[in-house]
A and B are shown apart, each in its own frame.
Chain A
Amino acid sequence: MSPLSLAGSHFLALALPTAILSLLFYLIGEKREIEALKVSAQRGTILTFLLITAAVVTLLAAFFTDDFSLAYVVGHSSSTLPLFYKFAGLWAGLDGSILFWTWLVALYSFILLKTQKNKNPDWMPTINAVMMSSLIFFLSLMIFANNPFSPLLDPASEGKGLNPLLQNIAMAVHPPSLYLGFTGFAVPFAFGLAALRTRRLDSGWIEESRTWTIIPWFFLTLGLILGGAWAYVELGWGGFWAWDPVENAAFIPWLLATAYLHSVMVQKRRGMLMVWNVVLVSLTFLMTIFGTYLTRSGVVQSVHAFSEGHLGPFFLGFMALIILVSMYFIVTRLDSLKGSQGLESFFSKESAFLLNNIILLVAAFAVCWGTLFPTMTEFVTGERTSVGPPFFNQIMGPIGLTLLALMGIGPMVSWKKAQASLVANNLFLPLLGGLIAGIIGWVIGIRQWYGTGSVILITFAFGTVLMELVHGIRAVRLQKKLGFLDSFVTLVVTSNRRYGGYLVHVGVLFLFMGIAGSVFKQEADFALKPGESFSFQNYRFNYISPEITTEPHKTEVAAKVDLYLGDKKLGSIRPSKGFYNASEQPSTEAAFYHRALVDVYLIIANLDEKTGRADFRVTLNPLISFIWFGGVVILLGVGILVLPASVKKSWVKGLGMLVFLFLPFSPMHSSWAANSGMVHEETGEDPFLYMDAADPLTIRLKEVADKLLCQCGGCVRTTLKACTCTFAHKERSRILAMLRAGSSDEDTLNAFIKEYKLTVLTVPPSEGFFGMGVMLPPIALLFSIIGGSIFIRRAALRNRKSAPPVATILSEDDGYADKLKKELDETP
């Protein structure tokens, strides 16, 4: 037995009793009021965290030292796997992902202990109990069922390698982000139970659980988007979301948490919906465990479910425990949960939030229903069925549109009782904008009800956010006599939650646009021989030539295709398929051509080596980049939202202004990636490993490659000589082929310049117009940074001058802007 396997198993085995003792000691210490017992419980929590950390480090060590006596390492790594992906091997399989998951729970427990021990000592025993129960559950899973450290009786000499599909940067980042989200929902649940148990259901509880929901919500959102990006880039079917049970399992808690983040505001503001909120928090946590159960137990038919199926009873037991405990505390504390206030009017922010909650809950229910229905019918009738994406798409269409409408109306409706005339006044402009956009959309050909509805409502929701901003800025300007930009910064800084929230809305609107765009996705299959072409929409694909490259470890079959829009050549793209010797399956590499509003996505299959005939599938994905952009905006919004009061001023200003200044440059990314095939994928392999260093051709290749920059779009100004990504690999093969065919160094370079423009050169010619063209972006960037920092300094100085009144008057975030706006609206 390998020492690492022994050590890892022992760390886990020790963590289980320390977690149990920590849980018990804290509760007993609280009951008997023995301070020393509480202290040792706290130490127990820290020790548990350290032990699980040690287990994670041990597994990583096993990966890095290629310890092929561990079944898990053999299954998910090999000695040639790049270091980065060895790290990702930690969460690539079932057993390792449970360990990583457990570690995240332990990390949250540790952070909670550190932050809440003195702040909320009365809640700590319950919080600790919830977190430790989670840990006990996951530790038991590992110890009794899925030990990532289980040794092989007969150690292997080499690992089986990581699935090539998982060797992608998004796939390496997406699971940790998703897991951080999933595990994090235990925290608001812990706060909820603690507040219920101690009957201290005050604003402190709302604050903590709100903050601790935003954090996992953020990670879950990021994880979902990254998962979509991975599917889009790597799976070769041109889509990003398939309503697979595993995806749904992550989406359901997201919907519930989103509902909670809205309804908690009602509780904060009006002291209503307390029972509802506790139920939502418990339900969210329950659904994360349920989602894990779905993915880890093989209950549902799924594209990427883990296959083992004996974990079921563990999960069902744990879920039953969660339901029983939360029900017990909610029912016994009903009297304390009863709010004193009721709805005053139908026409109020409260109602809007309530409606939003109902719709989000129905969405969660519908997704859950569609996911579970096949399993349920099989259980009842023995007949298996399948619920396809059309169901989810048709359901989520109207639900999404309703949410968009609410997103637009909500901010304009005031608390308690809104005045119809005032709301109508405020909504007039956004609504008008929406209708105009709808008409424009109709004219340019968006004539399907879902498309038109999206265009109108997205513009409308955008409009109301803009109106809010304008109103707010105007209020601050009048009040503080500041300039426009200063007012803007002051407003965002002082009402960071409100405007951070709006920014998240804007990000979600971009997401919606991307999703709405996917409805207009178009696809065509065609087969071509070299020299033939195919036209689709306004695009023409000229199949130039097949390119088959054989390397020691793989054969790559690619097609060089020139892409035309009308008569204008956009560039060459190069879809390919790799056949790895070590792997049983080929790997499709889609070629992209990114345009501002549409992605052209091309894959290839069945290339005939003799005739060069090949099958192609083109997918036109409109607006898909809006999804990724929306993700970035949400990230920023959450950043502003969670800023603590102490650092927020300088942060928001710096960050906000930088982003603002960088935004115009974002189209640049499309030119970076313009000439495709281009997903930067690191191989970590010496480019010239298999070449004869003394061969004059190799020497020339090195010289030429050193003068050219890798154009894959993923590496930052690396020469083709040095870059180890797969794209650079292909480019070097091309150079070599050209040199071998008798082309001079000069001609080869010129061919590349012709294809990629002058920016492909490592050292661009500095004189003349070309020099200007190359130098302009960095110069502009430099200017904007300098300009931005001058502006930020100025704003900061001015703010400092007016600091005292700002601090006192503007400290209450929502109230201030509301009040000012109301005043302004009411004065003619």
Chain B
Amino acid sequence: MLKKRTKYIIGFLIIMGALVYLISTTFQSSLQYYVTVAEYLNNTSKYKSRTLKVAGIAADIQTSLNADGKTVYNFNVNEEGKGLAVSYLGFVPDTFKNGAQVVVTGRMNEGGNFEATEILAKCASKYESKVRT
């Protein structure tokens, strides 16, 4: 029969192994790149067809209605003179406006347009908190 201590160590290792496996497998799938607009545009081939987060300043916000009558937001995310055209269907946070720091999550579609699925916005000038949709 195994020594008690050895049994504990084996048990402990099994538990830890299971947990490490769990963490590492889920981790891979939920990791996203977080880049600035300039980084993104300098390396579009690398990030192509990947879902990622892009940070910059929102500008030229325009809205239009799609076929279902829902509001679509078209705007630019700018950084250092470079701009990324983004379209977004959904709800924007209260802090979303021209000049706000934003982080958009999404991916480039076939037409070369960046489609966002989530927008985080931070009002740079006045408040210390950001709001999410």
> Which A positions have Cβ atoms within 8 angstroms of B?
93-94, 160, 163, 165-166, 235-237, 242, 301-304, 306-307, 343, 346, 355, 358-359, 362, 366, 369-370, 373-374, 383-388, 390-391, 394-395, 398-399, 525-529, 584-588, 603, 605-606, 613, 615, 617
Contact = CB atoms under 8 A, between A and B. Distances in A.
B3 interface: no
Given A584-B126, A587-B94, A390 B29 contact: yes
A615 B70 contact: yes
Contacts of B15: 355, 358-359
Contacts of B11: 346
Contact of B32 (A166, A303, A386): A386
A301 B34 contact: yes
B34 A385 contact: yes
B63 interface: yes
Given A303-B131, A358-B15, A615-B71, A525 B31 contact: no
A290 B66 CA distance: 47
Chain A interface, >50% SS class: mixed
Contacts of B93: 236-237
B128 A307 contact: yes
8 contacts: A94-B128, A237-B133, A391-B29, A525-B91, A584-B97, A585-B127, A603-B91, A606-B63
A160 B126 contact: yes
B70 A526 contact: yes
A528 B69 CA distance: 8
B79 to A, nearest CB: 13
A506 to B, nearest CB: 27
Contacts of A617: 90-91
B30 interface: yes
Given A386-B33, A615-B91, A306 B12 contact: no
Nearest to A529: B69
Contact of A395 (B22, B89, B92, B94): B22
A303 B133 contact: no
A588 B63 CA distance: 18
Query: Of B19, B53, B103, which is in contact with the most chain A CB atoms at under 10 Å from its CB?
Result: B19
Contacts, number: 128
A586 B127 CA distance: 13
A527 B130 contact: no
A362 B34 contact: no
A591 to B, nearest CB: 14
Which of the four size classes fits the interface of chain B? 35 or more
Contacts of A237: 91, 93, 132-133
Nearest to A603: B91
Interface of B: 4, 7-8, 11-12, 15-16, 19, 22-23, 26-27, 29-35, 53, 63, 65, 68-71, 89-95, 97, 103, 120, 123, 125-133
A577 B42 CA distance: 39
Query: Of B4, B35, B125, B129, which is in contact with the most chain A CB atoms at under 10 Å from its CB?
Result: B129
A394 B26 CA distance: 7
Contact of B90 (A163, A165, A370, A525): A525
Contacts of B70: 525-527, 615
A110 to B, nearest CB: 30
Contacts of B128: 93-94, 163, 304, 306-307
A395 B28 CA distance: 12
B33 A384 contact: yes
Given A362-B19, A384-B35, A391 B30 contact: yes
Query: Of A343, A391, A586, which is in contact with the most chain B CB atoms at under 10 Å from its CB?
Result: A391
A358 B9 CA distance: 13
A303 B129 contact: yes
A235 B130 CA distance: 10
Contacts of B27: 370, 373, 387, 391
Given A385-B31, A388-B32, A395 B26 contact: yes
B123 A235 contact: no
Given A307-B128, A527-B68, A385 B91 contact: no
B124 to A, nearest CB: 9
Given A366-B23, A529-B69, 7 more contacts: A94-B128, A163-B127, A386-B32, A390-B30, A395-B26, A525-B89, A617-B90
Contacts of A394: 22, 26, 30
A527 B63 CA distance: 14
A263 to B, nearest CB: 15
A668 B94 CA distance: 33
Nearest to A578: B94
A366 B65 CA distance: 42
Query: Of B63, B93, B94, which is in contact with the most chain A CB atoms at under 10 Å from its CB?
Result: B94
Contact of A385 (B33, B125, B129): B33
Nearest to B127: A163
A669 B120 CA distance: 34
